[in-house]
Amino acid sequence: MTMRMKRLGKTDLQISAVGLGAWAMGGPWLFGWGPQDDKDSLEAIFEAMDCGINWIDTAAIYGHGRSEWIIGHALREMKRKPLIFTKCGLCWDEKSERIPRLKRQSIMQECEDSLHRLGVEAIDLYQIHYNQPPEDIEEAWATMADLKQQGKVRHIGLSNYAVEQMQQLEKIETVETLQPPYSMLRRDFEQGLADYCKKNDIGVIIYSPMQRGLLTGKFTAEKVAALPPGDSRRTNPDFTEPRFSVTLKLIEKLKPLAARHGRTTGQLAVAWTLANPAVSAAIVGARRKGQIAETAQAANWQLTESELNEIEKYLQEWQKEIEK
């Protein structure tokens, strides 16, 4: 499959419009999706490359290193290697509790640990995972700039940062990329962030375009109830009432639009995010073979203005129902 490629902001990276997200490959952890078979993860990674995807997004916190480790295992078996994007700033203790940490010494060590798990000489894009604690973001960003100068990372970016924080950090070093959440159900990105990134040529790779799988149209109340105890979606507001039933009604409205093109609602959800001119690419997760082969096809689907207007009408109706 030949996939649409886009330049990532002001970097020299040409990336596929859809990338592989390795969140769930970390298996059980605080925000995981339950048990995960490493063989399934490897097959999903290889399939993503066969689909024309040329980058993988992960983070040290995903499974407390397990996601990075399995990607490193896959890389050793590949002749044509993808770009690797990972993150720092979220650590864990002996009780597996998440600890935001942005001190210089921590980030330097996290980078070394990620390089070791991935088995690479340099990370293509290294991102600060979260903006906490806020008083340390300048120290963290200065450290990221040093890592880039040392050649341990090729490009640096931010994840889950506000416009004001990016402006603050720009005084230290250029912000090359941003990774925000963005989907039909979560549109905070449109409130200032999108315009700022577009104006400043900041590459944007959005995450959770299918809202943790909800917008695939494959979830029912029974399927949610059957999720394993370690799956964080069991208690997520999107998957609980009354919001869950309202969203299922939205998905039923979207299905005919997708079907007109022989597409799925999951593909429609991803294509919708890519229609935003500020978005460079979308991260699409996969846990086993077959999943990414389906959703990756969204990369080449460009929605018309009429279709976007139709979707907007449904989204406005959904919003009114949510706010009742």
Biggest CA–CA distance in the chain, Å, is: 54
Q: Are 88 and 110 in contact (CB under 8 A)?
A: yes
Could you tell me the two tokens for 122?
A: 């340099």
Q: Which member of 62, 126, 130, 161 is catalytic?
A: 62
Q: Residue 317 class from Cβ within 10 Å (0-12 exposed, 13-18 middle, 19+ buried)?
A: middle
**What residues have CB less than 8 Å from 200, skipping those under 6 apart?**
175
Give the DSSP letter string of 182-217.
-BTTB-GGGTTHHHHHHHTT-EEEEB-TTTTTGGGS
Q: Check if 161 is active-site.
A: no
Distance CA 254, CA 272 (A): 11
Q: Which residue do the tokens 């902001």 mark?
A: 9
Q: What letter would DSSP give residue 11?
A: S
- Active site positions, annotated: 62
